[in-house]
Amino acid sequence: MPFQELERALQAQICESVYIVTNRTGKHYIATPFVYGDGDGPTIALRQHGSGWALSDEGSALMRLSWRLSEEELEEPARQRKIADALALSQAQNENGELFLPMNDFKYGEALFDFVHSLLLVDELGYSEGAPASPELASHFDDIEEVRSFAPAPAISGPAKSGLMPMKEFKKEFAELIRESLPQGRLHFNWHDATWDSVGNYVVDCMVNGMDSPLFVHAPASNVQARDATITAYRFNDQETRGRHAAIFRDSSKLSRKVRSQLYAVCDVTFDNFDSERESIRGFLKSLR
């Protein structure tokens, strides 16, 4: 398949903001709406693989880890297992530090989603022990309190940073507000579509039913969670899991502008600050019929 046809297939299966660029040497790269927590986009190159195409990170994901971790830290058995778990999500292969995934059966959108998700999960492992080493990245990760998949960080005690409600408290009060506003029978917390996602890789904080189409409610408290919510919304659309999406932020002003704007783009309704907009959120939820 010529790469122009592949581009059209990806745009049809995902969105028009996915496109292919060709550099001066003739290499093809896929640009997507997804970014790492520091705002950089993952490198996703197209390379010939037999009669088809494969996705490659050209060694960039593990290179990013090596900038933040010592060789000893990178080779720790526990971290290597987590890298293997991240790659298993997409069945990507590690070939001398290059991560790549053949695209088969015309499921190009599914392959791209899962490959990007693997790259993002690998990158998160460099921050699983605490604050990033690089001061340039710190402003984008100042609210990291957990890495949702594979490597949860220790629970945070003491007062919230920068006046933020602690993450556990935010998630608890978010759930309580929804339960107070809607009948329990309409609520499904930590919901995923088991018809195509049996493992639960793409989860929404709460699915509200009882309407013509469901409402998928995301409650992001960090850059990582906002980015994961964006990926989940795109993935639902790709798999035709139809419904509206709403985002209730702990405090959107504390997130990277780029990560925040990408979630805005896929949501029908957003609330920027849970604490100050409680009554507006309650009114919105009670209006759902």
> HEC states along the chain?
CCHHHHHHHHHHHCCCCCEEEECCCCCEEEECCCCCCCCCCCCCEEEEECCEEEEECCCHHHHHHHHHCCHHHHCCHHHHHHHHHHHHHHCCEEECCEEEEEECCCCHHHHHHHHHHHHHHHHHHHHCCCCCCCHHHHCCCCCCCCCCCCCCCCCCCCCCHHHCCCHHHHHHHHHHHHHHHCCHHHEEEEECCCCCCCCCCCCEEEEECCCCCCEEEECCCCHHHHHHHHHHHHHHHHCCCCCEEEEECCEHHHCCHHHHHHHHHHCCEEECECCCCHHHHHHHHHCCC
Q: Answer yes or no: CATH 3.90.660 is held by domain 165-286.
A: no
pLDDT of residue 140: 35
pLDDT of residue 111: 83
Answer whether 3-127 and 165-286 agree in fold. no
d(CA 231, CA 33): 9
Which candidate, 286, 172, 180, places its Cα nearest to that of 221? 172
Q: Mind listing the pLDDT tens digit for each residue in 143-191?
A: 333 333 333 333 333 433 446 788 889 999 999 999 999 999 999 999 9
Quickly name the fold that domain 3-127 has.
Yope Regulator; Chain: A, (3.30.1460)
pLDDT of residue 239: 83
Domain boundaries, the chain: 3-127, 165-286
pLDDT of residue 47: 84
d(CA 182, CA 121): 34
pLDDT truncated to tens, each residue of the chain (289 aa)?
565 666 666 656 555 567 677 777 778 888 777 777 677 788 888 887 777 788 999 999 998 888 888 888 888 898 899 999 989 988 999 998 999 998 876 677 778 888 988 998 898 888 754 444 333 333 333 333 333 333 333 333 343 344 678 888 999 999 999 999 999 999 999 999 999 998 888 999 999 999 999 999 999 998 888 888 988 998 898 888 999 999 999 999 988 888 888 899 899 999 999 999 999 999 999 999 8
**Global pTM?**
0.59
Q: Are strands 215-218 and 244-248 parallel, antiparallel or unpaired?
A: parallel
Kindly report the length of the chain. 289
